[in-house]
Amino acid sequence: MEIAIKVVNGETIIDTTFLSVFGEQKLDLYGYSKAYVPFDDVMPDDFDGIKFNKSKYETRKEKERAIRYENEVMYKIRQKYSINQEFALLRQRDVKPLEYQEYYDYVESCKAQAKSELGL
């Protein structure tokens, strides 16, 4: 994992999203240096004397997992239904309950598959 790092008032600031948002060319502009941490899913309490905010890291990883799950579910749904088809089914769910139930069951299976594939 590449991170941006700087020291302000004696405190080390680590930003795990800076490079993906601003890019490497803006590091100097904001006083950061680039560092490489050789792991993505495990964050130690202390890495080379730098204290990490483990709670902030875990929160970020949880958000990333949620986004990956959402994207995977949407990808699977789009393989069968377009957005317009979904809206139509939702509008007509009382008029066409069998078609709606088929759609609903498919979405639930997509969610279950995504959870299984992502280990959630």
By residue range, what is the domain housing residue 37? 1-52
pTM: 0.54
pLDDT tens digits, one per residue of 38-96: 655 555 555 555 555 677 777 888 888 888 899 899 999 999 999 999 999 999 999 99
The DSSP call for residue 52 is P
Name the percent of the chain lying above pLDDT 90: 38
Q: What is the DSSP string of 99-115?
A: HHHHHHHHHHHHHHHHH
pLDDT band of 25, cuts 50, 70, 90 = confident
**Given this model, what pLDDT does residue 31 score?**
81
φ/ψ (deg, to 5) at 25: -65, -15
Q: How many domains does the chain have?
A: 2
Helix (H, G, I), strand (E, B) or coil at 118: helix
Residues 40 and 61 reside in one and the same domain: no
Which of 27, 52, 77 terminates a domain? The answer is 52
Using an 8 Å Cβ cutoff, are 41 and 68 in contact? no
Specify the higher pLDDT residue, 45 or 25.
25
